[in-house]
Structure 1
Amino acid sequence: MQAAQTERKRAEHSVVGYLTGAMSFAVAATPAVAETKKDSVTATLPTHTVTGSSGFKTDEASGGKFTAPLVDTPKSVTVIPAEVLQDTGSVTLTEALRTVPGIAFGAGEGGNPVGDRPFIRGYDAQASTFLDGLRDIGAQSREMFNVDSVEVIKGPSGAYEGRGSAGGAINIVSKTPKLEHFTEGTISVGNAAYKRATADGNYQIGEHAAFRLNAMYHDAGTPGRDVTSFSRWGIAPSIAFGLGTPTRATLSYYHLQSNDTPDTGIPYNNGTFNRRADGRPQLFAPGDGSPVDVGRNTYYGLGRDFRRDRVDMGTFSLEHDVSTALKLRNTTRIARTSQDYVWTQPDDSQGNIYYGMVWRRANTRYSVANTVANQTEATGKFETGGFKHSYAAGLEFSREHSSNDTYNVPTGSNRCPNGIGAAGGYNCTSLFNPNPNDPWTGNITLANNPAETTVRTQSAYVFDTIELSPRWQINGGLRFDRYSASATTSANAQGVRSSFSRDDNLLNYQLGLVFKPAQNGSIYVAYGTSSTPSGSVAGQGADGSALTPDRSGNRGDVLAPEKNRAYELGTKWNVLDNKLALTAAVFRIETTNARIVLQDGTAAMAGNKRVDGFELGWSGALTNKWQVFGGYTYLKSELRNNGGSGSAFGATNGTEFPNTPKSSFSLWTTYQPMPKFTLGGGAYYVSKVWGSANPANPKWVPAYWRFDAMASYRIDKHMHLQLNVQNLFDKKYYNQAYASHYASLAPGRAAILTLGIRY
């Protein structure tokens, strides 16, 4: 009997979670503030509402900074629920985010070239990634084994996060202990030597206490790319006390460790190059800046290549409900993230490709990021002057410190003067037929010369939703950050290190007006700001405003924070008896003081860039058996004043942003023709993406369509089988475009069979 009830709850959670957790471009109220609203999006069948360990409904977003129900929040947010993660077979953050249009993925050469680097609405959001509401700055590739949902907040979110991207932020929501017993796991196998196992056990250990343990092992190659491989394991125990009482405490630990052979990518066929004078014949004419046309399995790396990530994170959260209208929460986190790699980049900067060669440039890093953070939040509601208020207020303190070292790797001359093979020490290889097993014998040593960055922040914020009448609401937010950053460079040839520091006061805000023409719909207009100060990535990725002086030695105004602002007009409707959410929004994001290089080589806060766009979103159920999740985004980006040194000044004005496709579309849908059988499919489109839109030497990857398929069969109440086929038609496409040298080739067709077990 108990097993049957557990199975029924799981089925109900699947339906309700799809309908309520996946609300695109809207976000729900904080648990302490949320009320049962008639316009909440819930399924009519089944009628049971699943609740979490603290009694809060699962149709509410995480965190305490959203003070209105889904349909009444004047902000574009997409929430990817656990059901979509499971059905699509998404096991990394990158795979999960592909279901959200308007997000592209950037590549790099140093920093974090093969880790998570999402671009939201054209702006780099690597440093705007959060875990359970706290910034997760460490460069890495994130796993989904301990994730309940992923929230994508779009548009300048300075009021939510302080320093950050103008395009938006990502918040990952972890699994937490619940007052119930269950044990579940998965075993997966597939082509390209795919092997994966996960376990999730939740155990009630007292009337108000529970323990949960998530674990994962993953080992796989890349379909169509024989040499690359990904091996990792993780464990995430957590224990909670006081569940179901006014005072709750949760202690959790997260560990992830990986050991990969990273992919090298494919070089661009540059339109300009340095011609050789040694008589070597040129094999083909200059190209248009797209990737070189070589076989999918072409790999330019060597056996020396490796990549190792490690994440260790401990979090303690204490919550107390002072009353039904006021809740307090304090969270403390200590985290350490390391990234260690030697990675071969197929460098095309000298034009070797036109002579049939590729220089094996070695990009290297040994980075450690340490974070200590504390956040205190108060959420509640009150009434004054006849107006109802739902508010959230908080304080945050954090210290982030990173140390970035490199390896010494002998790689010869970038001109490949001795050609390929032994004569050049295998530092240059064939463009069309490289051999990753070449007997390269160079010595790799750690430089022991790190650069260091420290970022300290003290923040205060407040949000309030004011109900003026049943049809009109005002939603506002204000945040102040005291931001202090310092950096010390690696020692130069004379052993001298340089140090720089800067303090800034960041004040960001948002304001939205919501009109409700009906209980199941809203129309809103919103304005918001964000700030991107120097050193905001804390040395963990590409920094467009690095904490260094310009050539004139002036560190004043040229290090001031970039200021961004956005306007948005949108509407949200819950239709089909509140089972399907439809959303639409038009928006503009502007940066009017971007840091650029002037004609004389000095820097100035004089750049101007803009993104105009619109979005459509849908999520929920068309019928009791047919569910959909997805959207469409159009982005018109323009670098209005992009500077440039010397003759390059103004040359790129009017061009598009890198990593910003004009059009992107996603649709994931499932249909249940029989009670035990479910079919699913996905269609994804991304238009042309520029790595660099410089007219003198463009770099880009072509548009693509990708299709996925899924079939699931429930064997009995304890077991089910699921088959995912990703990239169904084995499309050859590129999913990352670096600004200079290479593009990243996406995996080929992957077929993965999963056995799921639950007791």
Structure 2
Amino acid sequence: MKFRKHPLTLLLSTISATTSTLNYAESIEEQTVIDNQRVVLPTIVIEAMAEGDPIKTYVDYKNANVTRNGLDKKDIPQTVDTIDVSKYKIYGSNDLSVMLQGTPGVSTTYDTREDGIMLRGFDSDLGDIYRDGVRESGQIRRSTANIERIEILKGPASVLYGRSAGGGVVNMVSKYANFDSPSSVGLYAGSYHNIGATLDLNQAVNDNFAIRLTGERGDSDSFRQGIGTKTEMISPSFTYRNDDQTLTWTTQYTYDKIDRVPDRGPNFSELPAGTSIKMGFAQHGDYIYDRSEVMRSDLNYDLSNQWKFHWAVSYREAFQNFDHFYAGYYCNENNINSVGKACQNPGTVSQNYYWQQTSNKTTSNSFDLKGEVYTGKIKHNIMFGADWVYEEREPILANSYVNGEKIVGFINPTTGERFNNRQDRELKINQHNYNEGSNYAVFMQDLISFNEHFKLMLGGRYDYYENTTTNKLKADGDQDQRRSVSDNTFSPNAGIIWQPTENQSFYASYSKSFSPFGGSMGVNAVSSNTNLNAFNAEPQYNDQYEIGVKSDWFDQRLNTQLSVYDIRKKNIRYKPDPENRPDDFAVAGEHQSKGIELSFIGKVLDNLYIRGGYGYTNATVKEDKETPALEGNRLKDVSKNTGNLFVRYLPLDNLYTELGYTYVGSYYGNKENTQKAAGFERIDAAIGYKNNTWSASFAVNNLTDEKYWRSTSMPGTPRNYLFRMNYYF
């Protein structure tokens, strides 16, 4: 399947699709306006720099929205990584998991339904990915078309965000209407008919009002046969500030759509020798459609020089509809598949099938008040806050016809021949649930500065949460098919900070996270027929201990972070007797992740910049009463070693060359640790030019054409190219 359009057609269609829209935006921490769109080191601020600026991606952000408190990152006793998205745009990446490849402590895999991101060993897809501080719930691939930067708060973060898997929080910060950024239009074209256009119109109407309109439209095939993706994004935004700039109000609407032919093939261990990595495993008619819409309002008001009030309201709808064949087992010449069962059609992969439609809706309302007070000579940077979140999820699934006939598909992995019995017939819906979840929370955090060298961070959060599940396949009014559960928990964090000099910040911290009802991360905590008298509603907990140091070097031109951590996941549940007592749970044991992370970014020599890092993650099963044989095994899909290094050289002020190296270590594709996937190394390169009116870049991904698997079911993309050009005005 191919999606192709002329660049001019794409640009005109993007402009015509966006010119009738008004309204919207989101506020980010206040930073210094840069003269001539360039940063002057050691001033570590980059908000006003144009996206194509040669050194924008090599300068650190001083603050991160993900911390919620507005403090410098050096005063946060946890690891905080900030990634400028424009560093990936020159290579054509719009995939969140690809952008995070090689980031210390982050493992990524491939799944057509979601992003496949693990932070410090624990899955973050179900509840730890946010956009502008609002949880991106649901099973969906998330677009980064309108994202300015990605922030990662490593380790448990329940004191700030509530429920969490405990490995950390990823926050995507949107582009928003402001009074500094230039406008631009752009085109890009590359390998596999990758072609698209971008629009970014930012205008300060006067000293009080700014409007912005961003849009992107792109079509691309894949190196895999029959696979393609079409993306659309539009985001109008509006910002108001009063005359003395004590009040800023931002509103924004963002629409993202990803239309694609899915590529969810079998595990690489299922494929016979000689299978080409270019073989796509979609059947004719397969599709996945993702759509998300976000509306939000963000108000900041300076009550005084010491106190600031923040109020954010948002509504998000995400929808996924997929109809496709996937995975499966290979049938050998003896009609036996890899799990030892008899099969038909030797020489083919017998594929699974599902049609699924899932909607997710999230309404969020949060307040916080930040300020400074003194008790004697001791300074307190205090934040008080309250959150209310209401989530809905409604999945509908089917994999057979109403007459009971199972829908099946087959594909020959060497010849590409494929066939299936999917027809235009009525499907039998075998699951239709409606799930609701509410969360109410209050929290407080205090950075206590005893003097300029010693500080103490203390925080706590109280959460009350309740979930309800209804089986909509049953008759209306059948109370036995509706269940509700509720509980509450307290999440603390504490850290001590020692700053012997202005450029060195040592810290040690403890933080805790919770996952409701013994590990349920979504709003479908219980099934509609659960016996609540036997239901174990205790949360699952993660405890983390971390020590580290954050440093500035060479007159603050180079920033580094070094941390060592130990996370324990507790109260992992299982069913001791699922057949006779399906609602009884017991505690299975504990998982542990411990490791070390180093990251760096900045200027090391005249006209020479570096960014990158290394992470070692040892995530294992410490105790498993359900399956003792798993004890000592590594957790599934988690690489022990991850790292990257990008070097940019500017022979002239406006001209740059870049060379990048990404390393992802080996990992196990199953919990039994019988299926090991080799790691990979990839080299990327780029050359670019930028002045005040235009920029151009040419990038090569996978320069050495390395053959590797980015997951157990998806090979890495062979060598490919992208040319990008932008005009600024």
TM-score range, shorter chain: 0.7 to 0.9
Partner of residue 365, structure 1: 356
Deviation string, structure 1 residues 364-414 (Cα, Å, up to 9, x no partner): 310111111111111111111210111222111111001101244569999
The CA distance in 1 between the partners of 2:202 and 2:464, in whole Å, is: 40
Are 1:677 and 2:665 an aligned pair?
no
The CA distance in 2 between the partners of 1:687 and 1:493, in whole Å, is: 51
TM-score (norm 1): 0.82
Are 1:529 and 2:512 an aligned pair?
yes
Are 1:519 and 2:502 an aligned pair?
yes
Partner of residue 302, structure 1: 283
Partner of residue 623, structure 1: 605
**Aligned match of 1:720 in 686, 692, 695?**
695
Contact 1:511–1:526 (8 Å) recurs in 2? yes
The CA distance in 1 between the partners of 2:273 and 2:469, in whole Å, is: 39
- Decide whether aligned partners of structure 1 residues 394 and 464 sit closer, same or farther in structure 2, where only a CA change above 3 A counts: same
Tell me by how many angstroms 1:236 deviates: 0.2
Partner of residue 468, structure 1: 450
Deviation string, structure 1 residues 397-435 (Cα, Å, up to 9, x no partner): 111001101244569999xxxxxxxxx998223232233
The CA distance in 2 between the partners of 1:310 and 1:153, in whole Å, is: 27
The CA distance in 2 between the partners of 1:68 and 1:402, in whole Å, is: 35
The CA distance in 1 between the partners of 2:407 and 2:516, in whole Å, is: 44
Aligned length: 670
The CA distance in 2 between the partners of 1:519 and 1:46, in whole Å, is: 13
- Decide whether aligned partners of structure 1 residues 666 and 490 sit closer, same or farther in structure 2, where only a CA change above 3 A counts: farther
SS of 2:98's equivalent in the other structure is helix
Partner of residue 751, structure 1: 721
Tell me by how many angstroms 1:87 deviates: 4.6
Tell me by how many angstroms 1:499 deviates: 2.9
The CA distance in 1 between the partners of 2:728 and 2:200, in whole Å, is: 9
Contact 2:63–2:71 (8 Å) recurs in 1? no
- Decide whether aligned partners of structure 1 residues 574 and 152 sit closer, same or farther in structure 2, where only a CA change above 3 A counts: same
**Aligned match of 1:95 in 93, 98, 118?**
98
TM-score (norm 2): 0.85
Residue 167 of structure 2 aligns with an amino acid whose one-letter code is G
The CA distance in 2 between the partners of 1:87 and 1:175, in whole Å, is: 17
- Decide whether aligned partners of structure 1 residues 107 and 708 sit closer, same or farther in structure 2, where only a CA change above 3 A counts: closer
Partner of residue 504, structure 1: 487
Tell me by how many angstroms 1:92 deviates: 2.7
Tell me by how many angstroms 1:310 deviates: 0.8
The CA distance in 2 between the partners of 1:555 and 1:705, in whole Å, is: 52
The CA distance in 2 between the partners of 1:756 and 1:189, in whole Å, is: 12
Partner of residue 4, structure 2: none
Are 1:706 and 2:705 an aligned pair?
no
Alignment map for 1:21-60 (pairs within 5 Å): 31=29, 45=41, 59-60=62-63
Tell me by how many angstroms 1:65 deviates: 2.5
SS of 1:71's equivalent in the other structure is helix
Deviation string, structure 1 residues 193-237 (Cα, Å, up to 9, x no partner): 101211111011222100000000011012x21211110111000
Deviation string, structure 1 residues 668-723 (Cα, Å, up to 9, x no partner): 2211122332111221111112121315xx23321111111111123x53122111
Contact 1:668–1:683 (8 Å) recurs in 2? yes
Are 1:352 and 2:337 an aligned pair?
yes
Unaligned runs of 5+ in 2: 1-27, 33-37, 50-59, 341-345
Q: Which moved more, 1:589-598 or 1:206-215?
A: 589-598
Tell me by how many angstroms 1:495 deviates: 12
Tell me by how many angstroms 1:52 deviates: 6.4
Tell me by how many angstroms 1:297 deviates: 1.5
**Aligned match of 2:309 in 318, 321, 328?**
328
The CA distance in 1 between the partners of 2:699 and 2:420, in whole Å, is: 38
Partner of residue 233, structure 1: 232
**Aligned match of 1:687 in 650, 659, 665?**
665
Deviation string, structure 1 residues 553-580 (Cα, Å, up to 9, x no partner): 4665633210110000111111011111
Partner of residue 11, structure 1: none
Tell me by how many angstroms 1:262 deviates: 0.7
Contact 2:66–2:151 (8 Å) recurs in 1? no
Contact 1:557–1:605 (8 Å) recurs in 2? no
Partner of residue 285, structure 1: none
Deviation string, structure 1 residues 96-146 (Cα, Å, up to 9, x no partner): 2225222123456xxxx5322311011111111111112121332222221
Tell me by how many angstroms 1:300 deviates: 2.5
Aligned-residue sequence identity (percent) comes to 22
SS of 2:661's equivalent in the other structure is strand
Partner of residue 579, structure 1: 557
- Decide whether aligned partners of structure 1 residues 186 and 677 sit closer, same or farther in structure 2, where only a CA change above 3 A counts: same
Contact 2:230–2:258 (8 Å) recurs in 1? yes
- Decide whether aligned partners of structure 1 residues 578 and 359 sit closer, same or farther in structure 2, where only a CA change above 3 A counts: same
The CA distance in 2 between the partners of 1:249 and 1:677, in whole Å, is: 38
Contact 1:163–1:536 (8 Å) recurs in 2? no
Residue 93 of structure 1 aligns with an amino acid whose one-letter code is L
Partner of residue 707, structure 2: 732
The CA distance in 1 between the partners of 2:388 and 2:92, in whole Å, is: 36
Partner of residue 433, structure 1: 415
- Decide whether aligned partners of structure 1 residues 321 and 730 sit closer, same or farther in structure 2, where only a CA change above 3 A counts: same
The CA distance in 2 between the partners of 1:513 and 1:382, in whole Å, is: 19
The CA distance in 2 between the partners of 1:174 and 1:68, in whole Å, is: 20
Alignment map for 1:37-186 (pairs within 5 Å): 45=41, 59-62=62-65, 65-66=68-69, 68-106=71-109, 113-126=112-125, 127-180=127-180, 182-186=182-186
- Decide whether aligned partners of structure 1 residues 300 and 389 sit closer, same or farther in structure 2, where only a CA change above 3 A counts: same
Partner of residue 522, structure 2: 538
Tell me by how many angstroms 1:293 deviates: 6.0
- Decide whether aligned partners of structure 1 residues 728 and 343 sit closer, same or farther in structure 2, where only a CA change above 3 A counts: farther
- Decide whether aligned partners of structure 1 residues 129 and 293 sit closer, same or farther in structure 2, where only a CA change above 3 A counts: farther
Q: Which moved more, 1:319-328 or 1:292-301?
A: 292-301
The CA distance in 2 between the partners of 1:291 and 1:319, in whole Å, is: 59
Contact 2:401–2:426 (8 Å) recurs in 1? no
SS of 1:332's equivalent in the other structure is strand
Q: Which moved more, 1:188-197 or 1:602-611?
A: 602-611
